[in-house]
Amino acid sequence: MGTTGWSAGAGGVRRRRGIADAIGIAVLGGCAAWALITATARAGRPEGMLLAVLAVAAGYACGRIGGALVPVAASFAAGLGGLCLAIAVPQAVPAPDTVAPIGRAGATAALLALSAGALCCAAWSARGRTLRIALHLPAVATVAVAAVLGSVAGIAACAGVVLCSLGVARLRRRAIGLAALGFATALVAGLGVALAKDALPAGLAAALEDRLSRHRILLWRDALHLAESHPGLGTGPGRFEERALALGQPQPPDGKPHSAVFQVAAEQGVIGVLLLTAAYCWLLYVLWRSARSTQVVLAAGAALTAVAAMATVGNALSFTTVTAGVGLLAGIATAEPFAEDPPHDEAAAPVLRGGRD
């Protein structure tokens, strides 16, 4: 391809990415606006949602800047920072801790998954097989850190992210991988709804309930009842605790149903759930349009999907460190480095076990 053709192609990619960014602004703006609308209508407290939107947007902007200037260093610093935060502050404070009968739900595991994803992105951004191998080692180490911290969800999430990163070494069609990640998230959300509605086979329902705890399932059912009773505007942001208490269900100290899907459904109605879904779909879309290599895109996508799955069955998104980390990783994986970087799949990164560097 000649220089003119390359420039025209690059211009087309930039225009498409500009459209993707505009969609993201609209979606995040819609989330913030709807939180304010429902809060006004229901005397709710929208600060939590507004803070989450702000954290994602700020993290995304920082990731785009760092990923454009120093893609390897930015990814490595983000991964190492998240890892240190998970080790030094295992409860991801400041945020309300949760004790029995629920237990802490995924903030540390989410930070570890994001760290593993960022470290894998750093490895695939590097040039040279030796450096890629060296940078994958800290990503593998996140599994050991999760084991030391006693986070079973963290072990599964980090192992999944690393295996996904290694498994897509020769993959050229990112759309297939991103579609699979989206389907996995939808499956987890669907299972949660089916479990709350008591629509699963008895054996599967008992196994999931034993793992998630009976108390959590009861909270989900309360949230589902509130969502069905107030499908339009919900009960108002931050009002799940007081409305669920009216149903006679004892609440955990943080007053949340421990599921982003059920919390948004109960507090912001159907439109809130649609906006939350649109935000996740936008992340997948902007990764698909990214100028980075398929390996970087899918490593980040795997980490973001792990966080989405944990947020579906836990309160991971209630922690600002996690929401900011989500935006940061997405920004890094969608940044266009100023240095030469193979766009899309036309020059996919060489694999760890060999290939031309």
Per-residue pLDDT, 296:
94
Q: How far is 57 from 95, CA to CA, in rounded Å?
A: 20
Question: Residue 96's pLDDT band (boundaries 50, 70, 90)?
Answer: very low
Per-residue pLDDT, 99:
40
- Residue listed under structure tokens 């050991």: 144
Contact predicate 110/322, CB 8 Å: yes
152 to each of 31, 105, 130, 143, 149, how far by Cα in Å? Answer: 32, 11, 31, 10, 9
* Predicted confidence (pLDDT) at residue 97 exceeds the cutoff of 50: no
Per-residue pLDDT, 127:
87
Tell me the H-state helices in the chain: 3-42, 47-69, 71-88, 107-125, 129-148, 152-167, 174-196, 202-212, 214-229, 240-245, 260-288, 294-313, 320-334
Look up residue 278 and give its two tokens.
Answer: 């649109």
- Which residues lie closer than 8 Å to 38 by C-beta, 6 or more apart? 44, 46, 233, 234, 236, 237, 267, 268, 269, 272
Mean pLDDT computed over every residue of the chain: 82
Q: Which residues of 67-89 are buried (b: 16+ CB within 10 A; e: fewer)?
A: bbebbbebbbbbbebbbebbeee
In the predicted model, what is the mean pLDDT of residues 182-206?
90
The residue extents of the domains of the chain are 11-334
Q: Which of 207, 224, 302, 216 is nearest to 263 (CA)?
A: 224
pLDDT > 90: percent of the chain: 48
Question: Residue 222's pLDDT band (boundaries 50, 70, 90)?
Answer: confident
pLDDT > 70: percent of the chain: 82
Q: pLDDT tens for residues 239-270?
A: 777 766 555 555 555 567 888 999 999 999 99
pTM (2 d.p.):
0.86
Which range, 90-99, 143-152, 268-277, has the best average confidence (pLDDT)? 268-277
